[in-house]
Amino acid sequence: MGEGKLKRVPYHVGIIMDGNGRWARRRGLPRLMGHRAGVENIRRVLEGCVEYGVKILTIYAFSTENWARPVEEVEGLMQLLSEAIQQQIDELHRNGVQLRHIGRLAGIEPALQEQVRAAIELTKHNDRIILNVAFNYGGRAEILDAVRRLIADGIKPEALTEELFSRYLYTSGLPDPDLIIRTGGEYRLSNFLLWQAAYAEYYATPTYWPDFDKEELRKALEDYARRERRFGRVLNA
């Protein structure tokens, strides 16, 4: 791992974990093996985040658009989530990880929904780090869900503020991401945290997700530490 303490660490990091399929293809393996390697990598990066002092890690694991993939791949990804919860929840719990989910649980197979709910319940008092899993998540769906609930609650137009609106999002109660990392070389958000990313710093790397290790994480955090966040203001004026 790199040396020295980082001068500023993002409180909330979001990761668009892209490149599993290409990682597998480069090795002549089926795409699902790439996803498997990708799931394995979450553990490493989570550990790195704890070491560096990140308090919230939001990972993009399955988008509302990913349903359009071949059915075997979709089923494989569901199966992987289920296995990952089964195999890792005890260790996560022991390590003080609070698991959360953002996205639509409805639409996922009932048994898997139940597994997710139970894992969230088990870890809800842990406070070392929050691992927030975006699964069946879409930024636009999130905004629509928020608007539907606002209307259902009878919120008056003049009462609506950005602060109130934020409380209707899946991320209610969590601060916005400070840094969004995208692996796999693309430069786009792909419907990730559209509202919350308004002032996030963005970092993209060509490294495929299964190869994104602690050293790569450190590079992203070092890059972040050098950024000047202005939030629209003029600094040192």
| Nearest distance, CB of residue 179 and ligand IPE, angstroms | 16
Q: Which is nearer to ligand IPE, 58 or 115 (CB)?
A: 58
Q: Which is nearer to Mg ion, 22 or 93 (CB)?
A: 22
| Nearest distance, CB of residue 146 and ligand IPE, angstroms | 21
> Where are the strands (E) in 76-221, listed by range?
97-102, 129-137, 179-182, 201-204
Query: What's the CA gap between 191 and 142, in Å, rounded?
Result: 10
What 84-89 contacts at long range (C-beta under 8 Å, 24+ apart), as own/partner pairs, is: 84/39, 84/42, 85/115, 85/116, 85/119, 86/115, 88/43, 89/119, 89/122, 89/123
Query: What are phi and psi for residue 33, nearest 5 degrees?
Result: -65, -30
Q: Which does 66 bind (CB under 5 to 8 A by kind): Mg ion, ligand IPE, none?
A: ligand IPE
**Site residues for Mg ion per CB under 5 A:** 18
**Site residues for ligand IPE per CB under 6 A:** 16-22, 60-63, 66, 77, 184, 186, 188, 190
Q: Hey, which residues are catalytic here?
A: 18, 66
Dihedral (CA of 183, 185, 191, 196) sign: positive
Q: Which is nearer to Mg ion, 18 or 201 (CB)?
A: 18
Q: Which does 180 bind (CB under 5 to 8 A by kind): Mg ion, ligand IPE, none?
A: none
State which residue has the least CB distance to ligand IPE. 21
| Nearest distance, CB of residue 206 and ligand IPE, angstroms | 11
| Nearest distance, CB of residue 21 and ligand IPE, angstroms | 3
Bridge partners for 100 per DSSP: 132
Query: What are phi and psi for residue 170, nearest 5 degrees?
Result: -60, -30
Q: Which is nearer to ligand IPE, 21 or 48 (CB)?
A: 21
Q: Which does 20 bind (CB under 5 to 8 A by kind): ligand IPE, Mg ion, none?
A: ligand IPE
Q: Which does 188 bind (CB under 5 to 8 A by kind): Mg ion, ligand IPE, none?
A: ligand IPE
What DSSP character marks residue 105? S
Question: Which H helix or E strand runs over 120?
Answer: helix 110-123
